[in-house]
A and B are shown apart, each in its own frame.
Chain A
């Protein structure tokens, strides 16, 4: 070992100084290849979106814009598109509004019992998976479910929840609040509590402190939460599929039907790309205005 180190010391510095940087690129290769599936796949989708659908051969190679035209002119299609966008936007706003006080209390609470309860109530749903939780809502909101049985005791109901936008929104919110809390918490964690105290000592009330101190400092968390919630909600399939009972379909349901009932790959590619377009726009706007927020992979150097 000593001779090796001694030998290394005699070598010019650049020999062992510069390779590490090259080595860094080498480390990234497997990850780049892995994510490359999605990158290459997007190019595939772009190509499919201008191919011609043929009921017999499924896809023929003549180029056309008919699929894009169909999305823009067929009310059933753009209707679902706009429903997806507004529902994703609404769920994003609601879940961040729900998650904010929750995350704040989880970070700041003194009692370890309360904190543990808050943490368990976030992470157990988070790790339970979408199908299981949707099934739970089906039992709660169904025709003979918990809510309707309770209403029945008072001689009310039954109310039909399944197949309504309300049921879909309840299901979506329960999935998205934990995501929002997880994205908000790191940002809230970094807020120095003495800043809040200082603001209050200077005469700011709670609302002013929230608006001028907490909210700006938590912005990276809000940005991260919004991106994650909007992206996941706009692509959600199981909740509109089960709780919406086919009445409240979103883009994912439309894509699935186009793919498997009609085998219309070009049209499914158009729907997919339109979904990617909307989410990328949202991500782009937030990235350029606020930065990657808590979603970003921070670079080591700026941390000190």
Chain B
């Protein structure tokens, strides 16, 4: 333990962050960033009926209670469905858009790029109001698929973005080599283009799914009481009480987040996700 710590300390020295104040500042940030997550995990194992910190006693009772809590289980199921719709729509649309923007010599490229950033530049609450009006006027509001569609609209830039970064990395030489060897457009697409953009597609899909699972404000605005998703359900619950049961529900998200991080690390590497 001490030797590991020494090794870390030795390696952290002689770094750009060698200044003790800066290192301390970053250590503080790690604690700051992780604090809410860790606290929820701890509280979820609290055996008593009220939230106190540190927990009075440790137990799994709230986790065992979860399957009986149909309002949370149903909301979780709806969140998974909405996030799945969002990912399923996002993959083809994102890939086509990225290829169209990158691989073809099209006019109005700059305005189109700005157009595709609209979901980022329009504040989420405004997107919610817009979709409430559109879905309300067309009478489709209250269907779960509208939530999935809304999630696709607001998160599509993440997909376009992560595919684009792979298309950028894709060596055009490879494609022309395939062409010189007589490969047709469709063969090049299947054997050269798809394999090289696949990591980008997977990263984008993962990000869209997790963001879809967590999305709150747009869902709050456009869901009717019988299609609320889990974040909306949690929000309502937090406003009335902060029982450890909610911490157990919230822990599902934290566990999903940890799994996602490990999967992303294994798929493409976290540094790759950070810098692409």
Tell me the count of chain B residues lying within 8 A, CB to CB, of chain A: 108
1/0 per residue, CB under 8 A from A, across B181-222: the answer is: 010110000000000000000000000001001111100110
Interface string of A269-304 (1 = CB under 8 A from B): 100100110011001000100001001111110010
Contacting residues, chain B, for A104 (C-beta < 8 A) = 16-17
CB pair A119–B106 under 8 Å, yes or no, is no
Q: How far is the CA of A181 from the CA of B26 in the complex (A)?
A: 12
Q: How far does the alpha carbon of A232 sit from the alpha carbon of B172 in the complex, in Å? A: 36
Tell me whether A182 and B274 are in contact (CB under 8 A). yes
Kindly list chain A residues whose C-beta atoms are within 8 Å of the C-beta of B112.
28, 32
With known contacts A30-B93, A105-B26, A145–B257 Cβ distance under 8 A: no
C-alpha spacing A108/B271, complex, angstroms: 11
In the bound complex, how far is the Cα of B98 from the Cα of A224, in angstroms?
A: 19
Kindly state whether residue B167 has any CB partner on chain A within 8 Å: yes
Which of A101, A127, A149 interacts with B214 by CB under 8 Å? Answer: A127
Q: How far is the CB of B41 from chain A (nearest CB, A)?
A: 9
Provided the pairs A98-B29, A139-B39, A186-B275 are in contact, do residues A120 and B103 lie with their beta carbons within 8 angstroms?
no
CA distance A172 to B217 in the complex (A): 15
Shortest CB-to-CB span from B72 to chain A, Å, is: 13
Q: Which residues of chain B come closer than 8 Å to A48, judged between CB atoms? A: 133
Does B40 sit at the interface, judged by CB under 8 A? Answer: yes
B100 touches A25 (CB 8 A): yes
Tell whether, in the assembled complex, residue B15 and residue A113 are in contact, meaning their CB atoms are under 8 Å apart: no
Encoded as 1 (CB less than 8 Å from any A CB) or 0, chain B from 20 to 34 comes to 001001100110111
A185 in the interface (beta carbon within 8 A): yes
Contact A297 B12 (CB under 8 A): no
A119 to B268 alpha-carbon distance, docked (Å): 13
A164 to chain B, nearest CB (A): 17
Nearest chain A CB to B203's CB is how many angstroms away?
12
Contact residues, A107-143 vs B (CB, 8 A): 107-111, 113-140, 142
Assembled-state Cα–Cα distance A5/B184 (Å) = 8
* Residues of chain B at the chain A interface (Cβ within 8 Å): 7-8, 11-12, 14-17, 22, 25-26, 29-30, 32-37, 39-40, 43, 51-54, 89, 92-94, 96-106, 109, 112-127, 129-134, 152-153, 156, 160-161, 164, 167-168, 172, 182, 184-185, 210, 213-217, 220-221, 231, 234-235, 238-239, 242, 246-247, 250, 253-254, 256-258, 260-261, 264-265, 270-271, 273-276
